[in-house]
Structure 1
């Protein structure tokens, strides 16, 4: 790997860090408002039949199931849930209205509900998963960054928005090789996300 990333590669690294580091926490903030952490175990047990049906339909995989229903004495903790599982639970266990175009399309700019913000994050994670070369041109990056960080701001609040602002200008050092490796590992999760959204 070259010692210096191109601007397009740097854009990819920043977007990957945004979508795998900050956006899952923003989605979790919404999740924890819908499912109080203190009562998460009992909430999930109440919805066992719905969740079992989602597992049978392969919308929830075995590793996610183990997070929802860990072995005693462990209890479920939303901090262990990936964004795919968070969105699946919000979609299927809450009364939140879905975005106008559903969860699989990029919502219009004037739709600013929590579920439309989840759809934006999902859309750009899929976008990232389809990039084979690990590069994003500047125009696409600016558009995507603004859309995703606005969604993060609405879901997670001003401190997360500030993290996004810091990440956008942070100097990326040679540890980028490690970052790129982390991103490649995260892409496995993103590929799983694509298969999960057939619900």
Structure 2
């Protein structure tokens, strides 16, 4: 591996530079070949694949997996149809692992290091991705040692040869990468590409952080909504309790009105009882007066006739008694009516009290 403790030599920088060329140029060539072969095997064009998977690509952009610049490459303004030649390594790897139209294994674990015995397309794409990440994070001031260079070169070369179409003659291209003369312009091109990778990673990290912040805000909003729902439930419960209180208050008012009406009836009944009692007393007084009058009449008859009464006197006496008893029957009838009315009133008031209870 690259080490910072050893002094840098020109060869160490050349080793790093040639590895970068192998991954950037050789890896891109092979990945484009994999993409085109996958589309051919699925009998679909690249533009048709993009249109078919546009919802997935849009979702990847919203999650920060694809940047706006990469999205514009796939769906350029003006209706231009993109090809695999317009794509860089990062975008090709993202499309191969995310879109169904390429027919790769969706259950493959892209986050794990493939086993040495796994030589599937998915495993080789994952290895190229890992080498790209390693090389892009090695500083040009640190470079790489020769033994690391040799080991990495052999591993990457095996992947490229295994995955490239024979028609591309990739073995010859790899040999040229290893022996071609290096100039300042070529180094700048490679460093520019490396910078693009780093900028992409920074942009992805930024978007992921934004997504994390958005998810946190969404979680907070959901929590606030739950609190609002609980408050609404409490308000509905309070409202229901208030309705119950109002109904109870209305029922109490009705009961109070009934009680007032019953009290009024009781008072009226008491007044009637008093009046009836007074009438009974007056009747009794009248009876007493009648008896007294009868006695006076008898005494008068006795005084006038003595003990020897004539038939006419007896008739007169009988008439006097008849008037007395008729007057008693009349007074008794009137008294009975008054007592009957009072008894009915007492029964009615007793019934009202039982209903109130």
Q: TM-score surpassing 0.5? A: yes
| CA–CA distance in structure 1, aligned partners of residues 56 and 10 of structure 2 | 47
| CA–CA distance in structure 1, aligned partners of residues 112 and 181 of structure 2 | 32
- What is the aligned residue count? 190
| CA–CA distance in structure 1, aligned partners of residues 77 and 45 of structure 2 | 17
Please give the residue correspondences for 1:42-191 in structure 2 after superposition, counting only pairs within 5 Å. 42-94=48-100, 95-97=103-105, 102-132=109-139, 133=141, 135-158=143-166, 159-168=169-178, 170-173=179-182, 175=183, 177-191=184-198
Contact kept? 1:120, 1:147, Cα under 8 Å: no
Of residues 33, 37, 47, the one that matches 1:41 is 47
| CA–CA distance in structure 1, aligned partners of residues 54 and 11 of structure 2 | 47
Q: Give the TM-score taking structure 1 as reference length.
A: 0.85
Q: More helix per residue: 1 or 2?
A: 2
CA positional deviation for 1:119:
1.2
SS at match of 2:78: coil
Contact kept? 1:87, 1:118, Cα under 8 Å: yes
CA positional deviation for 1:171:
4.4
Q: Give the TM-score taking structure 2 as reference length.
A: 0.49
SS at match of 1:60: coil
CA positional deviation for 1:70:
1.4
* Structure 1: stretches of 5+ with no match in the other structure: none
SS at match of 2:193: helix
The residue aligned with 2:292 is: none
* Structure 2: stretches of 5+ with no match in the other structure: 1-8, 209-357
Runs of 4+ in 1 over 3 A off after TM superposition: 192-198
Query: Would the alpha carbon gap of residues 150 and 98 (structure 1) be closer, same or farther in structure 2, given more than 3 Å must change?
Result: farther
CA RMSD of aligned residues (A): 2.3
Larger Rg: 1 or 2?
A: 2
RCO comparison, higher one (Cα < 8 Å, 6+): 1
